[in-house]
Structure 1
Amino acid sequence: MESEKPTAIDLFCGAGGLSEGLVDAGFEIKWAIDNEEKVKPTFEANHKTNMVVGDIRKIDPPDLDLPEHGLELVAGGPPCPTFSLVGRSKINSLEGQNNIDDERHHLYQDFLRYVSHFEPKAFIMENVEGMMSAENKDGDPVVEIIKSQMEELGYKVNVQVLDAANFGVPQHRNRIFFIGNRLGRENPDMKKWRTHRPPKNEKEKKIKFKRNYKEKTNENQMTLNESAGIRTEEQLPVFKKNKTPKKPWTTVADAIFDLPPVSPDGEIPPTKAEKYEIGPVSEYQYWVRNIPEDTDWSDMPLWNHECRGHNMRDLTLYKLLGEGVSWIIGDIPEEHQPYRTDIFPDKLKKQNPRKPSSTIVAHLYKDGHMFIHPREARSITVREAARLQSFKDTFKFPVARTHAFKQVGNAVPPLLAQAIGTAIKKEVLKK
């Protein structure tokens, strides 16, 4: 009996940002794999799916307990290939092979090996934006090579670079997405699924307060205000093709300013906060807290909101980076520079509360200098980084802080994944 929900598998799943978004879009994740052991506790704490830790190159699709031709979607973000070595090899020739010792073998080919075997109705493959301009050692565009290999498998493919901020994520994050289907249908043009846009004026950069966070609105019901031409707020997220009007970008302030203050060392503020002190005040904060029906926000635990340690020099420099005035270390007088500005112009960066954050990166686990809190002399916490990636507060990272930062930085933002999943479900799968 066919599942009521479209089914998918998540390759190179990490903590599960892509899976989270696809589940929110209405998919059922049947299987997931990653070679990093530390992501398993996180994935399984937040998903019902059994996640396998292993080397995808050693696992052949026929060995899995999955229907060969029953999947609707194969999704994943394989690690970046060495672009110069990407060749025009036939993907079909990889079936049943383990090319671990072949230096020309790239993990994106294993992604396509799974596509070749399961023949899903559609696939999503995510990678870094730099692939768009990359060429191999023969001067051939890497994107065109990969796209042609996908087309050889019988898929209609388009390639798009998407900024997560245009889909409600409070972060600028440009990533390339290969979207393909074997049904002969047009793949969704994600520009038509954007929900957010750049602000038009200074007022739109301010925090967007939600007047009554318990009020649930129904976008299909027209209120007296709407009939008079005044639009009421829609509960996040609403992904519809050609949605109008679009909202201004979600900002850092929208995302994290309701979280209680924490400090590197001290009782007030504490180093770690485990409960909320105020209710959500912005539309995004209400959504991201994921408050269950008939539950008060004060009864919910707060996870992963702990400040890392900082030395006095860094804390002093953090204070010097003025909110709305100075954002990078190049603005600090030369005699106080801890780094060479010609090499590290952005080594210290305070995030602007009136804009989406800069791209959350995996090496945030090493230091937080690029992600200084807008109003507190410290780097951001795991929970704040997770919010900037659009992970809900109920998404736990039950691992050491360094691993949690890395997992957050490597993830596909769930809201962006939900937008793509919704578009594929509606336009390709017709569900």
Structure 2
Amino acid sequence: MSEERLTAIDLFCGAGGLSQGLHDAGFETLWGIDHEENTKPTYEANHDCEMTVGDIREEEPPDLGLEEGELDLVAGGPPCPTFSLVGRSKINSIEGRDNQSDDRHLLYEDFLRFVDHYQPKAFLMENVEGMLSAENEDGKPVVDTIKEQMRGEREVADLDLDLNYSVRVQLLDSADYGIPQHRKRLFFIGNRIGEENPDMTEWETHRKPKNEEEKKIKYKEDPSERSEEDQSTLHGFVDEDGTEEFPAFRKNRQSKEPWNTVADGILDLPPVSPSGDTPPTKAEEYEIGPVSEFQYWARNLSEEQDWEDQPLLNHECRGHNMRDLTLYKLLGEGTSYIIGDIPEEHQPYRTDIFPDKLKKQNPKEPATTIVAHLYKDGHMFIHPNEARSITVREAARLQSFKDTFEFPVSRTHAFKQVGNAVPPLLAQALATAIRTEIFHSPVERTEPREAY
């Protein structure tokens, strides 16, 4: 990165997926906050900044040692379960409550309160796709209301805020930015310094495959075969064949790569029951080196480190009973990837309600959306080749956490933290676009990775 480190804070930071992406794009995160106590060990193990555990509705913005308006970016993803279709139905089923009156969907107002306090040059707010169809008590689209509040055209509850930001709202699919997972999320990008907010469709790096051949794993050539000539550019290292080091975020690419798939994401990771133990347990050592371009990036090895010396962290799944293992084995290529297509007599659930309650991930496609529900069961995230649900490390890979990102908490909490996170690679794409288009701050040349 350039010598200039732009400053940011991360509200509702969780494990720190958004903070990681900001860091990788050249931002220095000064502070984070989350209400979940179990996120603190994870956040502090991976980030060099203060993290507060607390209810943001009761917290006052801390003194960051900056003058008003000196902070560059306020970022965060207010948890708004009422904006998702599932969240709405659950809340409406609770006696005496409805999704409009549930106060959790107003947490974004505290995001705006922090924006008002620091008056950052820009902000980045993430939310679920369901917000697009949500309406307030007056029947007005919630997104329109929030944009008006961010522009200072509408009051924010009983808060006296001074906001005057131009805003762009976009729904993004993480697969379009190199992440081996389909995950649609809504992003609000705003700034008050008169710049145009980036159109993230112009920053996409990946696309839908054109044919079956493009769905195959994308093998990575041995990095030791690279030329020793200086081929670094402003956008990343360029190999002898003209391809760029992953990831290479830049505006208006002439060509895009096919989506990264489940195979690209996780198939270099070893089986968790190599001896056939039941239930599956965990593996703590890599058995082979990285294979795909994404896997080379995810291993995140230092120049002096060999893959055989790298510890394998969090590669552990939950145990399964024999009935589940048998059903898991049944699914896959040659039958169907979802249990709803299997003959009725073998159905463990009502197919009219839960056709995809059991789902094996297709290795030739990006994964389905990784969700926090993984902490309860893994039925919708069955490994493509093994009769088990995915591990924490595999879920983290599919979310674009590098293997060096540690989750030093119980497996249950780790699954929840992974599922709730903003994919770091998507955050990096957004932060790179913001850095480039709003702050006009260049990205430093990256050097070729040394042979292992």
TM-score by shorter chain over 0.5:
yes
Structure 1 residues 216-295: aligned runs within 5 Å: 218=231, 220=233, 231-263=241-273, 266=276, 271-295=281-305
**Conserved 8 A contact 1:265-1:271:** no
What SS class does the counterpart of residue 125 from structure 1 fall into? strand
Kindly indicate whether residue 360 of structure 2 is the aligned counterpart of residue 347 of structure 1: no
For 1:417 and 1:307, locate their aligned partners in 2 and report how far apart those are by CA, in whole Å: 27
Q: Return the match for 2:317 from 278, 298, 307.
A: 307
1:174 matched residue in structure 2:
184
Structure 1 residues 408-423: aligned runs within 5 Å: 408-423=418-433
Please report how far the alpha carbon of residue 235 of structure 1 lies from its aligned counterpart in structure 2 after TM superposition: 1.2
What SS class does the counterpart of residue 422 from structure 1 fall into? helix
For 1:287 and 1:372, locate their aligned partners in 2 and report how far apart those are by CA, in whole Å: 24
Question: Aligned AA for 1:368?
Answer: G
Please report how far the alpha carbon of residue 244 of structure 1 lies from its aligned counterpart in structure 2 after TM superposition: 2.4
What SS class does the counterpart of residue 124 from structure 1 fall into? strand
For 2:333 and 2:102, locate their aligned partners in 1 and report how far apart those are by CA, in whole Å: 51
For 1:39 and 1:250, locate their aligned partners in 2 and report how far apart those are by CA, in whole Å: 28
For 2:202 and 2:12, locate their aligned partners in 1 and report how far apart those are by CA, in whole Å: 28
2:336 matched residue in structure 1:
326
Please report how far the alpha carbon of residue 58 of structure 1 lies from its aligned counterpart in structure 2 after TM superposition: 1.1
Question: Aligned AA for 1:336?
Answer: H
Please report how far the alpha carbon of residue 232 of structure 1 lies from its aligned counterpart in structure 2 after TM superposition: 3.3
**Conserved 8 A contact 2:61-2:114:** yes
Q: Cα 1:64–1:294, aligned 2, differ >3 Å: closer, same or farther?
A: closer
For 2:81 and 2:361, locate their aligned partners in 1 and report how far apart those are by CA, in whole Å: 31
Structure 1 residues 89-168: aligned runs within 5 Å: 103=103, 106-152=106-152, 153-168=163-178
Q: Return the match for 2:221 from 176, 201, 211.
A: 211
Question: Aligned AA for 1:78?
Answer: P
Q: Cα 1:174–1:103, aligned 2, differ >3 Å: closer, same or farther?
A: closer
What SS class does the counterpart of residue 124 from structure 2 fall into? strand
**Conserved 8 A contact 1:216-1:235:** no
Spell out, residue by residue over 1:144-168, the C-alpha distance to the aligned partner (whole angstroms, 9 max, x if none).
0001000001100010000000000
Q: Cα 1:265–1:53, aligned 2, differ >3 Å: closer, same or farther?
A: farther
Q: Cα 1:216–1:106, aligned 2, differ >3 Å: closer, same or farther?
A: farther
Which segments of 5 or more consecutive residues in structure 2 lack a partner in the other structure? 85-100, 153-162, 442-452
For 1:257 and 1:264, locate their aligned partners in 2 and report how far apart those are by CA, in whole Å: 14
Please report how far the alpha carbon of residue 407 of structure 1 lies from its aligned counterpart in structure 2 after TM superposition: 0.2
For 2:334 and 2:296, locate their aligned partners in 1 and report how far apart those are by CA, in whole Å: 26
What SS class does the counterpart of residue 318 from structure 1 fall into? helix
**Conserved 8 A contact 2:263-2:364:** yes
Please report how far the alpha carbon of residue 57 of structure 1 lies from its aligned counterpart in structure 2 after TM superposition: 1.0
RMSD value, Cα: 2.3
Question: Aligned AA for 1:378?
Answer: R
What SS class does the counterpart of residue 204 from structure 1 fall into? helix
**Conserved 8 A contact 1:262-1:269:** no
Structure 1 residues 365-384: aligned runs within 5 Å: 365-384=375-394
Which segments of 5 or more consecutive residues in structure 1 lack a partner in the other structure? 85-100
For 2:328 and 2:404, locate their aligned partners in 1 and report how far apart those are by CA, in whole Å: 30
Please report how far the alpha carbon of residue 233 of structure 1 lies from its aligned counterpart in structure 2 after TM superposition: 3.0
Kindly indicate whether residue 200 of structure 2 is the aligned counterpart of residue 190 of structure 1: yes
Kindly indicate whether residue 398 of structure 2 is the aligned counterpart of residue 385 of structure 1: no
1:298 matched residue in structure 2:
308
Please report how far the alpha carbon of residue 307 of structure 1 lies from its aligned counterpart in structure 2 after TM superposition: 2.5
Q: Cα 1:103–1:254, aligned 2, differ >3 Å: closer, same or farther?
A: closer
TM-score by length of 1: 0.90
Comparing 75-84 with 182-191, greater Cα deviation is found at 75-84
Structure 1 residues 13-92: aligned runs within 5 Å: 13-61=13-61, 66-80=66-80, 82=82
Question: Aligned AA for 1:311?
Answer: N
Question: Aligned AA for 1:42?
Answer: T
For 2:334 and 2:196, locate their aligned partners in 1 and report how far apart those are by CA, in whole Å: 44
Q: Cα 1:329–1:28, aligned 2, differ >3 Å: closer, same or farther?
A: same
Spell out, residue by residue over 1:45-95, the C-alpha distance to the aligned partner (whole angstroms, 9 max, x if none).
0000111101111111266655432110000000116459xxxxxxxxxxx
Spell out, residue by residue over 1:14-50, the C-alpha distance to the aligned partner (whole angstroms, 9 max, x if none).
0000000000000000000001000000000000011
Q: Cα 1:156–1:48, aligned 2, differ >3 Å: closer, same or farther?
A: same
Q: Cα 1:53–1:273, aligned 2, differ >3 Å: closer, same or farther?
A: same
**Conserved 8 A contact 1:213-1:286:** no
**Conserved 8 A contact 1:34-1:54:** yes
Paired residues, number? 407
TM-score by length of 2: 0.86
Question: Aligned AA for 1:136?
Answer: N
For 1:19 and 1:7, locate their aligned partners in 2 and report how far apart those are by CA, in whole Å: 11
1:430 matched residue in structure 2:
440
Comparing 19-28 with 75-84, greater Cα deviation is found at 75-84
What SS class does the counterpart of residue 61 from structure 1 fall into? coil
**Conserved 8 A contact 2:80-2:104:** no
Please report how far the alpha carbon of residue 214 of structure 1 lies from its aligned counterpart in structure 2 after TM superposition: 4.6
Question: Aligned AA for 1:406?
Answer: K
Please report how far the alpha carbon of residue 272 of structure 1 lies from its aligned counterpart in structure 2 after TM superposition: 1.4
